[in-house]
């Protein structure tokens, strides 16, 4: 079973986007770095902020691309090439419109589902979509025309608390996921829900 060696959290760069729903993938990386007592450092050759941590006895590369979301592939490909990582050794964390805030799912392979970050990563990896994904639910505005403003908007307090609770659960299941025990990781994460109740 292939082990995950790098976790990439997708985001848009800059303080104006930091707290927006589209940056949920980066929130996961922030939680992992914080839990490890480490910090992300700017790394030009990976087009992002990088750290290497120990997670459950394994060395794991963490990366937050500092390119815009639709250019995420360059950072992922640079990291993979430098450390000679195959696509199935990568786990990409990203926001997911089709899941409610407070839920998260693992997935391997498949299409990009219209997500510009995933689309660019597939392209940059030579159209290989065999990397793992960690889909962090942000909910859907209910109208396709509102999606752009919605993902670039900030979640309400209860919504953010639900997303953070799901991220905590992701962190708890990552030791199984990175070691290749996807069944156990999925059983735990996919049964978890901290769905926010909007007032």
Is 70 among the annotated ligand-binding positions? Answer: yes
Is 68 among the annotated ligand-binding positions? Answer: yes
Q: Given the structure tokens 């949920």, which residue do they identify? A: 24
Structural contact between residues 10 and 68, judged by C-beta atoms closer than 8 angstroms? no
Is 106 among the annotated ligand-binding positions? Answer: no
Is 83 among the annotated ligand-binding positions? Answer: no
Distance CA 193, CA 100 (A): 9
Active site residue ranges: 22
State which H helix or E strand residue 6 sits in.
strand 6-9
Contacts of 22 (CB under 8 A, 6+ apart): 10, 11, 12, 69, 95, 151, 152
* Residue set of the binding site: 17, 68, 70, 116
Binding-site residues for tRNA: 17, 68, 70, 116
């Amino acid at each position: 079973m292939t082990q995950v060696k790098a976790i990439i959290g997708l985001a848009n760069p800059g303080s104006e986007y930091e707290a927006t729903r589209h940056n949920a993938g980066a929130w996961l990386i922030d939680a992992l770095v914080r839990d490890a007592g480490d910090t992300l450092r700017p790394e030009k050759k990976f087009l992002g902020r990088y750290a290497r941590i120990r997670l459950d006895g394994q060395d794991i590369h963490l990366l937050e691309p500092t390119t815009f979301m639709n250019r995420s592939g360059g950072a992922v490909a640079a990291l993979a090439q430098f450390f000679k990582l195959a696509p199935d050794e990568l786990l990409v964390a990203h926001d997911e419109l089709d899941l409610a805030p407070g839920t998260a799912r693992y997935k391997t392979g498949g299409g990009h589902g219209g997500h510009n970050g995933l689309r660019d990563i597939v392209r940059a990896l030579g159209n290989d979509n065999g990397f793992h994904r960690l889909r962090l639910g942000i909910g859907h505005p209910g109208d396709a025309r509102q999606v752009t403003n919605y993902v670039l908007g900030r979640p309400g307090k209860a919504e953010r608390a639900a997303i953070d609770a799901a991220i905590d659960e992701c962190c708890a299941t990552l030791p199984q996921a990175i070691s290749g025990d996807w069944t156990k990781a999925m059983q735990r994460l996919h049964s978890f829900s901290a769905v926010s109740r909007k007032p």
